[in-house]
Structure 1
């Protein structure tokens, strides 16, 4: 069941988005002026020429000339103010300037008409108030259409960038890993092999033991140990592709097919239709007052409702058919109101035609614009969902990349620490512990050097058997901590396909159980490994150790989890401590 917060959150987001659209500086464009011109020209024709039954060409000249003031206002506002302060959104100021532009246009019509002698009753208060209202209304409509278009295109561009990164990552990550691994091995060889060769040459002279000892100490202290520290601390960087292709041209056209029933907005369409006529009914005092407005609202709503539910809610219509059907439905609903205007209101023919014109204008434009907005919102939501999915895929690709790098580093550190360093340390110890360097000691030292050289050339493709690793872990802690392990069959199949994931799971569990015993004195621990999705594993380790401290000092184990996991969490739950980690796994 949805909570009130879950229900109201989309409304708040929609309201916030609307405020952003209206406050956006990008709304002030040439398209806005064209939109203003077309709609206000139609309104001027209905309110001036049709209502007074005066179709002299002078009216068209007056109407055209009256667009100069709002054009000048818009250009000055954009060039002198908006272009100099692009970062901010100005909700109230944009509405104020839109109102000023609309009022200036209406007042200009009145002045030019009075000057031309074609209108003696200019209704100045109505021209100012009505012009300001129409300026705001048309600006808001354009802002919604323009804002939804820009947001849709921005989402589309983000999706394209992410998909480009994802495709490139899948193509180039294997090559990057090979270069990284081979580069690390080559760097180690270049650092160690000359030292080993130098030591061999010094061993040729038995009296040069002191120089051999110094060279061994130098190799251990200044070559191997710093290199191990650097390898352990280095972090694999998430994959990023450079020089992404920019969009040269992007179209925000409607999709080829879409469902229509959910795009026909009954409430707002009926409200805007009634609003377009009710203003004039109020000015010219309709015979039945508010009842006429209610009748117009109801008639339009019922007719549009019939059309809305005459089509399937799931069927996707071709784009042209959907637009044509919406247009026909809105024309029919508006025509029903025209019939009511002619038969019931009883105005003279000029004013009846004016009312009918407003009914058709607002009744047809509103559903089309609302349908366009609904389609774009739906498409943007689909794109945002795809963006989220692709971002998750990219995160998992990066996680797999980090796993491979981490596993290679871990194995290489084991080689340096367990083989190279131990071999050179053994050679150093032999020379230091023997007062006389005999041929036998020299031979043993040379063997140690050979072992170190062989280790650097080793192939790091060892396969980790998770079952064996977990069994060994139970044996290590037998009698100290009772360890229970559960691995689902789905998780087992995924782990068997990826030696890197097997290695990582083994290390995570080892680290978690070791910390539980060493830091929490745990005597019981349970490991549950499951496959929560096709490409991710969940690892859960619970123990009965001491409660976590208020401030946890995270160390090497947390660094490992940060490197190789999609996410992890350590928390105190009642009488147990729980570590949860999510690990990407190869499909």
Structure 2
């Protein structure tokens, strides 16, 4: 049999049962209303076999007994306990149930005596069995109802988390797109006035000053601002509208349940003992203690033994219910045999059916309690999986938002800054401000800004380095001196590593030309190991100062490389970086 269709049922918790039986749920309106079923059933079950009294007489007695019981419990709830007391109060609850059971017994004696169907000789039996019956019935219903309610709460939470997950799944890309548009708009609004002033300027020196000032006063500060985590949070809106539309789908019963797990021997024994101890005294006069011990020990032993055998049986819920009734009958026969043999009890047929009814009531209620617990267990497993997915999706959203900010900041810090700075340097080499050159500079700047609109950048290392070489043409000779096949294969299979390699090259090229005045720059890319690509950028520019303050570029290198270093030797400056290319980063 396929294990996937077998629904697991968690072990019962005695502490949880006591908490529910002695908590506010025990005196809730729902439990008090459900108590009407065993309340009326016990009156008819134990009394209809008597020769005196009609069904109508016992209906009146049952109604008075029920109303008296819940009346006392409502008084306790309104005064001593309160409507929503915390934590559970076992001793106070037992006192309330015993008091209500005693009041029930007295009401049955009074009304039954008035109708002439309850003799005075029943007083001891009624006063003894009433408190036990109310205690057992209310506790049993409370445990059952709490199990059902917890399952409904878990299912409602599962539906809510699923709705949140589905909403996020459908909106992650849209949120990223909106954030990107917001950031790009911010950049364009900041740079547009600079470009407009540059195009209107006819003085070469002023044009150079405008471009260089735009880098220091606009581009660099803006790239730092955008790169800060949370600088431009996206509007996530509210999920209230989504949650309001969550449909209350019908929960399906499990395909197969374990019959043994549907039985909770301690729960069944509690139910049948509290409800049956009174009638047991009638069956075994003079041997009451022996009868109670036989009834309890025999019931517990037979239930535990049969449960062990029943754990080998998996069945649909309806068939499991049939099995539970069969088991109840077998246990009833065993208990009757034990009482006859040990306590020398004398059973009539109706009394056998009473014992069977008590055990069936406990067993069926046990199953009704275990089925919701089985469903809740399955819902909790789904809930944990959904919450985990939700956490991962939230992390993905945060990562994409962060990546979006950093990517735009990197393009601004790299390509846009490089295009503007390269334009200034090209103008500086011209004796006259050439309109053609202005147009080319504007085109380069526009091309750099247009990269902000693309969702992804090219990860073709050769192509991107070629673009850098074209941008700096006439200012610095940027060339790819070595790109080993093994390194190319490794980077082709890992777009993240390729993007990081491109970003390191871009940062090194910009710094070498801008700060070092480099005229020649060579790039070497080799595979250091299966997990690392070695990147070396060599230039003839001035070496970096030892006491230079780390800026945005250094932060980028710290984040996207495994390690990096900058050194000067024999008139050349080298930036050496190790880029991870292991499967972990894919």
- Note the 1:242-257 alignment, pairs <5 A: 242=240, 243-245=242-244, 249=248, 254-257=253-256
Distance 1:237 1:419, change over 3 A: closer
1:328 shift after superposition: 1.7
- Note the 1:435-584 alignment, pairs <5 A: 438-440=431-433, 450-458=443-451, 459=454, 460-463=456-459, 499-500=495-496
Whole-Å separation in 1 of the counterparts to 2:214 and 2:85? 58
Residue equivalent to 2:189 = 190
1:141 shift after superposition: 0.9
Residue equivalent to 2:257 = 258
Write out per-residue CA displacement over residues 324-379 of structure 1, whole angstroms, 9 at most, x where no aligned residue: 11112202321343455567756677xx5785455223211112222232332232
1:309 shift after superposition: 5.6
Whole-Å separation in 1 of the counterparts to 2:145 and 2:497? 48
2:174 maps to 1:181: no
1:455 shift after superposition: 1.3
Bigger shift: residues 168-177 or 275-284: 275-284
Whole-Å separation in 1 of the counterparts to 2:303 and 2:83? 44
Residue equivalent to 1:377 = 373
Counterpart of 2:386 (choices 378, 385, 390) is 390
Distance 1:343 1:145, change over 3 A: same
Say whether the 8 Å CA contact 2:97–2:134 is kept in structure 1. yes
RMSD of aligned C-alpha atoms? 4.8
Whole-Å separation in 1 of the counterparts to 2:500 and 2:426? 37
Whole-Å separation in 2 of the counterparts to 1:505 and 1:368? 68
Residue equivalent to 2:228 = 232
Residue equivalent to 1:536 = none
Residue equivalent to 1:170 = 169
2:317 maps to 1:322: no
2:418 maps to 1:418: no
Whole-Å separation in 1 of the counterparts to 2:226 and 2:424? 24
Residue equivalent to 1:401 = 397
Residue equivalent to 2:569 = none
- Is the partner of 1:233 in helix, strand or coil? coil
1:118 shift after superposition: 3.9
Residue equivalent to 2:363 = 367
1:148 shift after superposition: 0.9
1:226 shift after superposition: 3.8
Say whether the 8 Å CA contact 1:165–1:241 is kept in structure 2. yes
1:171 shift after superposition: 3.3
Distance 1:286 1:144, change over 3 A: same
Whole-Å separation in 1 of the counterparts to 2:244 and 2:306? 45
Say whether the 8 Å CA contact 2:21–2:142 is kept in structure 1. yes
Whole-Å separation in 2 of the counterparts to 1:151 and 1:560? 47
Distance 1:445 1:31, change over 3 A: same
Say whether the 8 Å CA contact 1:273–1:297 is kept in structure 2. no
Whole-Å separation in 1 of the counterparts to 2:501 and 2:387? 24
1:153 shift after superposition: 1.5
For structure 1, the 5+ residue unaligned runs are 1-9, 466-491, 508-525, 530-554, 562-582
Residue equivalent to 1:54 = 52
Distance 1:320 1:74, change over 3 A: same
Residue equivalent to 1:32 = 31
Say whether the 8 Å CA contact 2:125–2:281 is kept in structure 1. no
For structure 2, the 5+ residue unaligned runs are 1-9, 462-488, 504-527, 532-553, 561-582
Say whether the 8 Å CA contact 1:32–1:142 is kept in structure 2. yes
Residue equivalent to 1:103 = 102
Whole-Å separation in 1 of the counterparts to 2:432 and 2:147? 85
Residue equivalent to 1:335 = 333
Whole-Å separation in 2 of the counterparts to 1:329 and 1:336? 11
Whole-Å separation in 1 of the counterparts to 2:253 and 2:371? 7
- Is the partner of 2:257 in helix, strand or coil? strand
- Note the 1:110-259 alignment, pairs <5 A: 110-121=109-120, 127=126, 130-201=129-200, 203-204=201-202, 209=206, 213=209, 217=213, 220-221=216-217, 225-226=221-222, 228-234=224-230, 241-242=239-240, 243-245=242-244, 249=248, 254-259=253-258
2:66 maps to 1:67: yes
Relative contact order higher in (CA < 8 Å, ≥ 6 apart): 2
1:174 shift after superposition: 2.8
1:179 shift after superposition: 3.3
Say whether the 8 Å CA contact 1:157–1:247 is kept in structure 2. no
Write out per-residue CA displacement over residues 93-129 of structure 1, whole angstroms, 9 at most, x where no aligned residue: 5554444433332221122223344445266676556
1:75 shift after superposition: 5.1
TM-score, normalized by length of structure 2? 0.65
- Is the partner of 1:367 in helix, strand or coil? helix
Whole-Å separation in 2 of the counterparts to 1:585 and 1:88? 51
Residue equivalent to 1:575 = none
Whole-Å separation in 2 of the counterparts to 1:379 and 1:496? 48
Whole-Å separation in 2 of the counterparts to 1:181 and 1:219? 22
Report the structure number with the largest CA radius of gyration. 2
Whole-Å separation in 2 of the counterparts to 1:247 and 1:78? 35
Whole-Å separation in 2 of the counterparts to 1:145 and 1:309? 23
Q: How many residues align?
A: 475
Whole-Å separation in 1 of the counterparts to 2:151 and 2:299? 31
Whole-Å separation in 2 of the counterparts to 1:345 and 1:252? 48
Residue equivalent to 2:508 = none
1:275 shift after superposition: 5.0
Write out per-residue CA displacement over residues 523-569 of structure 1, whole angstroms, 9 at most, x where no aligned residue: xxx9998xxxxxxxxxxxxxxxxxxxxxxxxx989x989xxxxxxxx
Residue equivalent to 2:550 = none
Say whether the 8 Å CA contact 2:65–2:105 is kept in structure 1. yes
Bigger shift: residues 251-260 or 364-373: 251-260
Write out per-residue CA displacement over residues 417-448 of structure 1, whole angstroms, 9 at most, x where no aligned residue: 123235545667899x99xx952599877765
- Is the partner of 2:13 in helix, strand or coil? helix
- Is the partner of 1:244 in helix, strand or coil? helix
Whole-Å separation in 1 of the counterparts to 2:234 and 2:101? 55
1:416 shift after superposition: 1.1
1:464 shift after superposition: 7.8
